[in-house]
């Protein structure tokens, strides 16, 4: 890694320190306390809040800073020093206080916390347990002789709300443990990304407003008692303690066990923990190792199927936890290292309707600028008109905007309780906003009736790009010139251009003309996979085009495939196959014209698939052709900047190289990944590979592996 780990992590995860709200006088302090208490009450009562997490953190830090300078003027409603901001209430007493965690927002604050812990225990902490801070709702699950009997929220830390009615709806929280023990399991209930989307679909079907984010969805769903529907949630255990009736031997073992062993015990009882995820709790020996683990988890955050808002760091040894003790609000032996917020509340100012190169009419939300993870966000995706309708969005709405890593920002839902009544309906276009033609609204994604011809320039420029037909000298400006001159009306017309036609254009001399004609001649010889990609079939991209071409080997084979045959291609499911087949059929005249112009329609090295009846009796698709080579059967991810013999290759060319070598290229790292080629600047994908134990290779090592294909 190199360098000071504390400095490295600060740079890795951006501007970590959440600035405190500036409070100038006692009146402003009183308003801030009122706002914080109101926000906490709204969230803990029903899962809604007028503030996002970042805004609340800034307000709370401002309150704490003002109180530090005016210790005699602290108001009783202040959220400082109280569990859940002092807003939560409950009537079921906890056997052991269920506290919140203090937060740190920077490497410097973390260093100060470790120094404080060392002073309290009289030495440097021997071990730390480090794991994800899950973005959900804390609960205590009580088991009597192995059976789940009660589920309680954290409440104010001393007593919580009985939510036992939710038993049976929470995945990962078994109703019966693997052993008949009497214990309390503490943990977090949340909604995964998939569960959140499902919950909103069900909620809207029943006439409700969609939830603003997964955390609010989990909080509201957990408390709901009389809904006409149920939606699943997920539990992650993070604590295990004794109850009256536990038994002396087990109680002593739980009291004396390191935190890491407690979690292993919980998992052995059948409780879902972080151990089953890409970011399991791990034990490290030094603060420097803690910071490295913070960096690793931060890098993996965007790809997780559930939300985290930080990393929890705990003293692992029971003796250290006892020596450190707890305050009235939080334990002194644990802290949450908060990550930058990935969700913020802002206003939807307008909706723009753009037409893509295939004629798709796509809405884009124009936002009141908001900073998320250090970037100012002014636009966010809205997917399609049906999505707008499902989410019940209106112009002027306060909306929850989500952005994680390099993911395109998206609007999750309106924050309905902030509506003023002045919001206006979003008007959908009645004609194509680009050319005025009719719009095909038969599918969720609307499309101009002119299809690709609506945006011919963009479609041709895309086809000529380096990762498609790689036609040097045919940039957007030249394409516009050809279209406006009436020389080109579709992709095939490019290959019918004559020398005298080009020479007659402005700024087209003999050298430019000859170079372009030579580039077009080379483009005719490109493999089928690139031709298919240049056609821009909806639902496919560069990787999928390669898989289709390698599987069917010829354009004739692709055109002859029905939906069942298309599903035999790796990555094409029952939903996508019919649309791909329909798109290929729609492109038939253009494909015929390309073939007549001499464009290659075969994939080098690929052989046609076996007949349909070659499937096994269980219906398992036969193996795709062309699987030989040094990477046969391997799933390969390329990340970072390539060096040496690979330096000149684009990412698409690297993926093509992987597949020519018999492997399958992928953009994401998982437990099924065989090899990650990690170049300079490799970040989250390298970290995930290391976490999962996936084999890593430098660009030089990979080049040696596929040397015969590099020439």
The helix or strand, by DSSP H or E, that contains position 370, with its residue range, turns out to be strand 361-372
CB-based contacts of 668: which residues, under 8 Å, 6+ apart?
303, 637, 685
Say if CB 218 and CB 190 are below 8 A apart: yes
Say if CB 599 and CB 491 are below 8 A apart: no
133, 338, 576, 685: the active-site residue: 133
Cα-based distances in Å from 47 to 219, 221, 224, 498, 566? 5, 8, 11, 67, 44
The helix or strand, by DSSP H or E, that contains position 30, with its residue range, turns out to be helix 26-46
Q: Residue 235: helix, strand or coil by DSSP?
A: strand
- Biggest alpha carbon–alpha carbon distance for the chain: 96
| Tokens describing residue 184 | 């309390």
- DSSP code of residue 301: G
| Tokens describing residue 519 | 């580039």
Bridge-based pairing state of the strands 233-242 and 170-171: parallel
Q: Residue 440: helix, strand or coil by DSSP?
A: strand
Q: Could you report how far apart the first and last alpha carbons of the chain are, in Å?
A: 34
| Tokens describing residue 290 | 């803690």
| Tokens describing residue 346 | 């802002």
Say if CB 153 and CB 139 are below 8 A apart: yes
Q: Strand pairing partners for 336?
A: 103, 312
What does the alpha-carbon distance between residue 365 and residue 351 come to, in Å, rounded to a whole number?
5
Name which of 104, 273, 91, 101 is nearest 186 in CA terms: 273
Q: Strand pairing partners for 439?
A: 448
The residue assigned the tokens 């997964």 is 214
Name which of 447, 446, 444 is nearest 390 in CA terms: 444
Provide the H-helix boundaries in 524-608: 528-535, 542-552, 555-560, 563-566, 576-586, 588-596
Provide the H-helix boundaries in 243-358: 248-256, 259-268, 287-300, 318-324
The region that residue 322 occupies, defined by phi over 0 for left and psi between -120 and 50 for alpha, beta otherwise, is: alpha
- Other Cβ atoms less than 10 A from the Cβ of 421: the count is 5
What does the alpha-carbon distance between residue 521 and residue 598 come to, in Å, rounded to a whole number?
9
Sign of the C-alpha dihedral computed for residues 698, 701, 703 and 709 taken in this order: negative
What does the alpha-carbon distance between residue 353 and residue 412 come to, in Å, rounded to a whole number?
19
What are the backbone dihedrals phi and psi of residue 654, each rounded to the nearest 5 degrees, phi first? Answer: -65, -45
Sign of the C-alpha dihedral computed for residues 43, 48, 53 and 55 taken in this order: negative
What are the backbone dihedrals phi and psi of residue 228, each rounded to the nearest 5 degrees, phi first? Answer: -80, 0
Rg, the chain, Cα only: 29
What does the alpha-carbon distance between residue 600 and residue 561 come to, in Å, rounded to a whole number?
19
Q: Is 225 a catalytic residue?
A: no
Q: Residue 260: helix, strand or coil by DSSP?
A: helix
What does the alpha-carbon distance between residue 45 and residue 39 come to, in Å, rounded to a whole number?
10
What are the backbone dihedrals phi and psi of residue 312, each rounded to the nearest 5 degrees, phi first? Answer: -95, 130
Say if CB 499 and CB 517 are below 8 A apart: yes
Residues known to be catalytic:
133
């Amino acid at each position: 890694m190199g360098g000071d780990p504390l400095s490295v992590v600060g740079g890795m995860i951006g501007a970590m320190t959440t600035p405190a709200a500036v409070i100038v006088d006692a009146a402003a302090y009183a308003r801030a306390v009122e706002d914080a208490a109101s926000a906490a009450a709204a969230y803990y009562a029903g899962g809604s809040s007028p503030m996002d997490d970042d805004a609340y953190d800034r307000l709370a830090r401002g309150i704490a800073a003002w109180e530090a300078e005016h210790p005699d003027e602290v108001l009783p409603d202040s959220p400082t020093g109280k569990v859940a901001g002092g807003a939560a209430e409950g009537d079921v007493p906890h056997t052991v206080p269920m506290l919140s965690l203090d937060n740190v927002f920077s490497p410097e604050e973390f260093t100060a916390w470790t120094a404080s812990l060392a002073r309290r225990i009289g030495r440097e902490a021997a071990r730390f347990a480090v794991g994800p801070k899950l973005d959900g709702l804390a609960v205590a699950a009580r088991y009597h002789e192995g059976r789940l009997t009660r589920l309680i929220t954290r409440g104010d830390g001393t007593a919580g709300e009985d939510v036992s009615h939710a038993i049976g709806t929470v995945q990962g929280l078994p109703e019966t443990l693997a052993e008949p023990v009497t214990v309390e399991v503490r943990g977090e209930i949340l909604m995964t990304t998939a569960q959140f989307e499902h919950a909103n679909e069900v909620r809207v079907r029943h006439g409700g407003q969609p939830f603003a984010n997964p955390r609010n969805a989990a909080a509201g769903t957990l408390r709901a008692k009389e809904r006409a529907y149920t939606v699943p949630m997920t539990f992650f255990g993070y604590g295990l303690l004794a109850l009256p009736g536990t038994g002396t031997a087990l109680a002593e073992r739980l009291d004396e066990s390191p935190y890491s062993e407690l979690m292993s015990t919980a998992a052995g009882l059948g409780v879902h923990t972080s151990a089953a995820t890409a970011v399991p709790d791990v034990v490290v020996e030094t603060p420097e190792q803690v910071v490295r683990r913070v960096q690793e988890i931060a890098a993996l955050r965007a790809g997780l199927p559930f939300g985290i808002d930080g990393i929890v760091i705990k003293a692992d040894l029971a003796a250290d936890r006892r020596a450190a003790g707890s305050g009235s609000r939080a334990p002194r032996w644990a802290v949450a290292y908060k990550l930058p917020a990935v969700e913020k509340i802002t206003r939807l100012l307008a909706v723009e309707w753009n037409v893509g190169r295939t004629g798709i009419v796509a809405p884009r939300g124009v936002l009141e600028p908001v900073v998320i993870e250090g970037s100012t966000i002014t636009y966010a995706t809205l997917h399609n008109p049906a999505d707008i309708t499902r989410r019940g969005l209106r112009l002027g709405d306060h909306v929850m905007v989500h952005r994680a890593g390099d993911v395109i920002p998206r609007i999750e839902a309106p924050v309905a309780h902030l509506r003023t009544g002045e919001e206006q309906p979003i008007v959908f276009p009645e004609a194509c906003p680009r050319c005025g033609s009719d719009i095909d609204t038969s599918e969720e994604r609307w499309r101009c009736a002119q299809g690709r011809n609506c945006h011919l320039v963009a479609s041709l420029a895309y086809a000529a790009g380096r990762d498609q037909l790689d036609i040097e000298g045919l940039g957007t400006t030249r394409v516009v010139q050809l279209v406006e001159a009436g020389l080109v009306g579709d992709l095939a017309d490019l290959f019918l251009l004559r020398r005298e036609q080009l020479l007659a254009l402005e700024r087209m001399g003999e050298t430019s003309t000859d170079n372009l004609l030579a580039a077009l001649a080379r483009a005719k010889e490109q493999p089928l996979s690139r031709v298919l990609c240049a056609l821009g079939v909806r639902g496919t991209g560069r990787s999928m085009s390669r898989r289709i071409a390698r599987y069917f080997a010829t354009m004739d084979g692709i055109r002859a495939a029905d939906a069942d045959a298309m599903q035999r291609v790796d990555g094409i499911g029952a939903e996508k196959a019919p649309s791909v087949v329909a798109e290929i059929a729609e492109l038939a005249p253009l494909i015929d014209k390309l073939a007549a112009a001499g464009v290659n329609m075969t994939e080098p090295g690929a052989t046609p698939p076996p007949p349909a009846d070659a499937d096994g009796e269980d219906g398992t698709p036969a193996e795709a052709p062309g699987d030989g080579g040094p990477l046969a059967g391997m799933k390969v991810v390329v990340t970072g900047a390539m060096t040496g013999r690979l330096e000149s290759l684009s990412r698409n060319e690297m993926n093509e190289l992987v597949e020519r070598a018999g492997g399958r290229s992928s953009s994401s790292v998982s437990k099924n990944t065989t090899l990650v080629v990690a170049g300079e600047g490799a970040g989250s994908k390298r970290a995930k590979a290391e976490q999962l134990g996936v084999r890593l290779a430098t660009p030089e090592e990979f080049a040696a592996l596929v040397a015969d294909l590099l020439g």
